[in-house]
Amino acid sequence: MKINTMLFVSEFEELWFDALQSLMGLRKCGLNHVVFLHVIKREKVAMRRGTGFLKQEEVKLKEIADIRFIDWAETLFEEGMEVGAHIAIGNVLPKIISVSEIENVDLIVTARIERGKFEELYAGSEISELLRRTSKPVLVYNYLSQSSKAGDDPFERLLLALDWSVSSERVLDLVLALSGATKRVEIVHVLSEKEVGKLSKMEAHKLERENKKRLDDVCDIFVKERIDARPHLYIGQTEEQIKKAATEHKSSMIVLGTRKKSIWKEKWVGSIAHSLAENSELPVLIIPAEGS
């Protein structure tokens, strides 16, 4: 896995240039192409009674986006990077999917995308849907809600949450590809309290030992790449424990994979990755299960 091309989705309300600049640590890992995407919501220029299609409004909004992107692009061009831009009208999600495929990007960066309450109730959040519909890694960058400055490098101190599923291997591959930008990785596995509670003392110790061994093995992989890595075993509710671990170890980003689930199962049972992406104050890098 490599990250040469990044899609940076901006509504200009949440992700600004400082957010983009904070991701430039990825240049050490091969990032050399940034593609901007701004989607003007259809309702902003849609047909209205008495006025028709707001062509003038469309031209104005496109021009504003173009001026902003040119300003951002100039800085990146001068650093020898390749930059592309897409300004479109319509729904954000389908545009993200189509541009990410057209440009063959390796990483999608977006903030949380707001949806109407009613729409969210029956369709779920845009981020959840994006994670279901793409197999590309998605960085949900909630940098404005962080207490830290936007200029901090989010890739510096990673919290890598592993559940030992098939997708864990993909997650590991990606984090190793980020090794140039990463200084430290906290590797976390969370044991379910319910699961441990059912076991005898001996069995619980055995489970603990097995998981510690697996964590140590993963640490060794990072140490070989000269990245400081520490293993951590937590017990409790997975999402809560991941957040807790990230706080305890002052992580700058949470990284995890998703498991392949049916849409209905996911909607009703939920997904830890989706929930973290929606609720975590830290940036969350999610690597969807293959075949998403």
Query: What is residue 180's DSSP assignment?
Result: G
Task: Please report whether residue 79 would count as binding another protein according to CB under 8 A.
Answer: yes
> Of 277, 268, 203, nearest to 239 (Cα)?
277
Task: Please report whether residue 85 would count as binding another protein according to CB under 8 A.
Answer: yes
Residue type at 38 in one-letter notation = H
Q: Which stretch binds another protein (CB under 8 A): 59-67, 124-132, 138-146, 148-156?
A: 59-67
Which one among 47, 67, 121, 269 touches another protein, defined by CB under 8 A?
67
How many whole angstroms separate alpha carbon 78 and alpha carbon 62?
24
> Of 248, 249, 230, 246, nearest to 279 (Cα)?
246
Query: Strands 284-287 and 138-140, how do they pair?
Result: antiparallel
How many whole angstroms separate alpha carbon 246 and alpha carbon 104?
31
Q: Which stretch binds another protein (CB under 8 A): 42-50, 67-75, 105-113, 276-284?
A: 67-75
- x-or-dash string of contact with another protein, 87-116, rule CB under 8 A: ------------x--xx-------------
User: Judged by CB, which is closer to another protein: 70, or 166?
Assistant: 70
Q: Would you state the structure tokens that stand for residue 67, as one six-digit string?
A: 């001026």
Task: Please report whether residue 6 would count as binding another protein according to CB under 8 A.
Answer: no
Task: Please report whether residue 74 would count as binding another protein according to CB under 8 A.
Answer: yes
Q: To the nearest whole angstrom, how small is the minimum distance from the Cβ of residue 103 to another protein?
A: 7
Query: What is residue 116's DSSP assignment?
Result: -
- Binding interface with another protein (CB under 8 A): 35, 59, 66-67, 69-70, 73-74, 77-80, 82-86, 99, 102-103
